[in-house]
Amino acid sequence: MKNENSNKKLTGNKKNVNQDTSKTFMEMPIVNLKAAGVDVGSRSYFVCVGQGANDVREFGIFTCDLHEIALYLRNLGVQTVAMESTGFYWKQLFVLLQDYGLEVILVNARHIKNVKGRKTDVVDSRWIQLLHSLGLLSASFQPDLMTEELRTYTRQRQYLIQHASQQVLKMNKNLTLMNLQLKPVLRDLVGLSGRTLIEAILNGKRDPQYLASLIHPSCKHPTNDFVNALDGNYREEYLFELQQSYDSYKHFQHQVEECDLKINLLLQRSVEIIDNYPPQIYSSAEKKASKYIPPKNINYKNCPPTQMAEYVYHLSGVELLNIPGVNTGTILTLISEVGLDLSKFKTAKHFTSWLGLSPNNRITGGKIISSHTDSKKNRIALAFRDAANSLDRIVIDNQLKSFFKRLSAKKSRLVAITATARKIAIIVWNMLTKKEEYNPLATARNEEFLRKKKMKSIQRFINEYGIKQNELAFIL
C-alpha cells in the first residue's frame, strides 16, 4: 500500500511538470515602438535605435554632430528618446532634440541597473533603449524655462558666497598670524566694525587705541579687550595677503549684488507677465512704496533682499516667510530648483520622498531592518534643514520650535533637524498647492493632542505605582 501511494504521488508530480505552460506565459509588451536610447559621454554620444547588431551608432559632440543625431533619429521615425543624466553633458543634446520635436526623457543613473557582464558604451545604450521601449524608465523632473534661468542665477550666487566665505577664512588666518586676536571679541569679521578695522589696518593705522575707537558702540565687549586684541605684530607678507583676500571678498560681494539684480529683474518680469501686476510699482526711478509688508526677523546674513520675497508673494499668493525658520534664501532655493507649482507631486508625502526627507523603510521577513532616509543631495532639502536648524535661535516660541527641541532632547539633534525639515516641506506643499496661508493653530492642535496623550501615560504611571496626592510635588 505504501508503494502504491508513493507511485501515485510520483505520477502526480510528473503530470505537473509536463504541463504546457506556453498559454500561461506572459511576455513584456513593448510600450514605445519608436524609442531610442542615448549613452552620454564627454567625447561622444552612442545612439541606439534597436536591439539589432547594426542599431548602435557613435556621434561626436560638436554642434553639427548634435544636428546629425536629431536628423538621424527623425529620419528613422523615432518619437521618444531616453538618455542617462551624466554630469552636465546631456544638456546640449536634450535641448536640441526637443527643438526638433522629439520627446526626450532624462533618467536618473541610479535607476538604471546594467546587465551582468562587460560594461561598454554600446551595451549601456542598448540597455537604455530596451528599458525605454518596455516603458520601464521614469523621467526625472525638469523645470520650465523661467525656473531654469532662475536656477542658473541662484546657483551662481551660492557659488560666489562660498568663495567669499573662503576669503573670510583667509583674512581671519592672516590676522591671527599677526597676533590680532579679533575672533574672541568680534563675532563677525566682515560686519560693520570688522570691515572698518581691516580697512584702517590696510591704510597703515597701527595704534591699538585708535583702532579700538572704530568699534561700533553696540559691541558687547569692553574697549580694553579690543585694545589688547589689536596689539599685534604687523608683518609685510601677511598684510599683503590680507589686502588681496579683502579685495577678493569685495569683488565676490559685488558679483553677488549683480546676481541679486538679475534675480529681481527676472521675478519682476514674471510678475508682470503672469499676474499683470502694475510695473510702475517697481520703478527704480520713482521708488514708490509698495503695500507689501514683509514679516519681521528675516534679515539673515547672505540672504537675498526682501524685495525678492515681494515678487514671490505676488506669484504664489501666499506668504512663505510666515513659516518659522524660513527666510528669503530658503524661498529662493525652492523656486529656483522646483518652481512654485508643486502640483506635479500628488501628495505631500511624494514631495518629501523626492526631497529624501521621508524614512526609507527596508522590510524583510516582516520586520523593519532599517528606516534611515536616503542619502540624496537635494538643494531644497538642504535649505529646509538649514531652516529647521535655525529654529532654536528664534526668540519667539512657536510650535515648530517646541517640536524641534522636544525631539532633539528625546533622540538627537540630527534626527530633529530631518524631522522638522520634513514638517516644513509639508507646510510649504500645502501652502503652494492649496493656496492656504500658514496656520499655526493646526500645529497647535497637534501639540494639544500630544499633551493629552502624555497626560494619559502619566495617569497610568501614577495608578501603576499607587502614588498618592500628598506625594506629588509641583515645581513652579
Closest CA to 199 of 239, 256, 255, 253: 239
Per-residue model confidence (pLDDT) at position 282: 42
Per-residue model confidence (pLDDT) at position 274: 62
What's the grid cell of residue 205? Answer: 593705522
Whether residues 230 and 331 share a domain: the answer is no
Per-residue model confidence (pLDDT) at position 11: 45
Whether residues 249 and 192 share a domain: the answer is yes
Whether residues 372 and 433 share a domain: the answer is yes
Per-residue model confidence (pLDDT) at position 275: 53
Per-residue model confidence (pLDDT) at position 371: 77
Low-confidence stretches of the chain (pLDDT beneath 50): 2, 8-26, 277-289, 475-476
* 52-59, long-range: CB < 8 A, 24+ apart: 55/126, 55/129, 56/122, 56/125, 56/126, 58/121
Position 296 in a domain: no
Q: Please report where in the chains the cell 523593519 appears, as a residue.
A: 368
CB atoms within 10 A of CB 56: 20
In DSSP notation, 59-113 reads: E-SSHHHHHHHHHHHHHTT--EEEEE--TTTHHHHHHHHHHTT-EEEEE-GGG--
Position 164 in a domain: yes
Whether residues 313 and 349 share a domain: the answer is yes
Q: Please report where in the chains the cell 541679486 appears, as a residue.
A: 260
Closest CA to 143 of 335, 383, 424: 335
What's the grid cell of residue 149? Answer: 534661468
Residues 6+ apart with CB under 8 A from 412: none
Q: Which of 202, 229, 259 is the last residue of a domain?
A: 259
Handedness of CA 80, 84, 85, 87 (dihedral sign): negative
Q: Which of 227, 242, 259 is the last residue of a domain?
A: 259
**pLDDT tens, 90-142?**
888 998 998 899 999 998 877 776 666 667 888 888 899 989 988 888 888 78
Domain that holds residue 428: 306-443
Per-residue model confidence (pLDDT) at position 180: 92
Position 472 in a domain: no
Is there a contact between 59 and 122 (Cβ–Cβ < 8 Å)? no
Position 351 in a domain: yes
Q: Is 27 helix (H, G, I), strand (E, B) or coil?
A: coil
Per-residue model confidence (pLDDT) at position 288: 41
Whether residues 159 and 122 share a domain: the answer is no
Q: Whole-angstrom Cα distance, residue 417 to residue 62? A: 46
CATH code: domain of residue 121 = 3.30.420.10
Q: Cα-flanking dihedrals φ and ψ of residue 169, to 5°?
A: -65, -40
Is there a contact between 194 and 173 (Cβ–Cβ < 8 Å)? no
Beta pairing partners, 39: 46
Q: Which of 74, 101, 133 is the last residue of a domain?
A: 133
Whether residues 126 and 161 share a domain: the answer is no
The number of distinct structural domains making up the chain is 3
Position 266 in a domain: no
Whether residues 122 and 161 share a domain: the answer is no
Is there a contact between 184 and 222 (Cβ–Cβ < 8 Å)? no
Burial 389-424 (b: 16+ CB within 10 A, else e): bbbeeeeeebbbbebbbebbeeeeeeebbbbbbbbb
Whether residues 315 and 420 share a domain: the answer is yes
Q: Whole-angstrom Cα distance, residue 111 to residue 37? A: 15
**Residue 39: DSSP 8-state:** E
Is there a contact between 160 and 284 (Cβ–Cβ < 8 Å)? no
Position 18 in a domain: no
**pLDDT tens, 371-399?**
778 777 889 999 999 999 988 888 777 88
Closest CA to 323 of 199, 235, 429, 164: 429
Whether residues 400 and 363 share a domain: the answer is yes
Whether residues 316 and 374 share a domain: the answer is yes
Position 23 in a domain: no
Position 298 in a domain: no
Whether residues 128 and 152 share a domain: the answer is no
Whether residues 86 and 215 share a domain: the answer is no
Residues 6+ apart with CB under 8 A from 422: 352, 355, 357, 358, 384
